Amino acid sequence: MCQAIPRSVLEVTVERARVNVDGEEMWVDRRAVPELQVGDYVVVYAGAALEKMPEDEALEMIRFYEEFESMLAEGTERLFGLEATQPAGAGMSELRA
């Protein structure tokens, strides 16, 4: 599922920007946002920078998504147990032993 989430800009070229996506770096098309600079926050969707976002709004939105993910994980754990919150394939080594 693609989400339009603000990302911090790490590097800018003529057509692309390198952004931080959950601790990993990713290149996105930045031609729709010509005024983009390193340190800015940009809304990224489907591999493209859509718009520049004020830092305070971007950080607030990032915090919201982090809290939301935490609540979802907690609810999933309560309903289905700890195993349901593990990434796919986690615990497979025990099955192979």
Residue 16 counted as domain residue:
yes
Residue 46 counted as domain residue:
yes
Residue 38 counted as domain residue:
yes
Find the distance separating the first CA and the last CA of the chain, reported in whole Å.
34
Residue 65 counted as domain residue:
yes
The number of domains in the chain is 1
Residue 59 counted as domain residue:
yes
Question: 23 is in which domain, residue-wise?
Answer: 5-83
Residue 97 counted as domain residue:
no
Residue 62 counted as domain residue:
yes
Cβ-based neighbour number of residue 43 at 10 Å = 19
In angstroms, the CA 43 to CA 7 distance is 6
- Work out the angle at residue 27's Cα, subtended by the Cα atoms of residues 50 and 58, and round it to the nearest 5 degrees: 45
Predicted confidence (pLDDT) per residue in 3-48, tens digit: 778 999 999 999 999 999 888 999 999 999 999 999 999 999 999 9
CATH number, domain of 12, equals: 2.30.30.140
Predicted confidence (pLDDT) per residue in 42-86, tens digit: 999 999 999 999 999 999 999 998 899 899 988 888 888 877 667
In angstroms, the CA 62 to CA 41 distance is 11
Whole-prediction pTM: 0.71
According to the model, what pLDDT value does residue 32 have?
A: 96
**Computed over its alpha carbons, how large is the radius of gyration of the chain?**
17
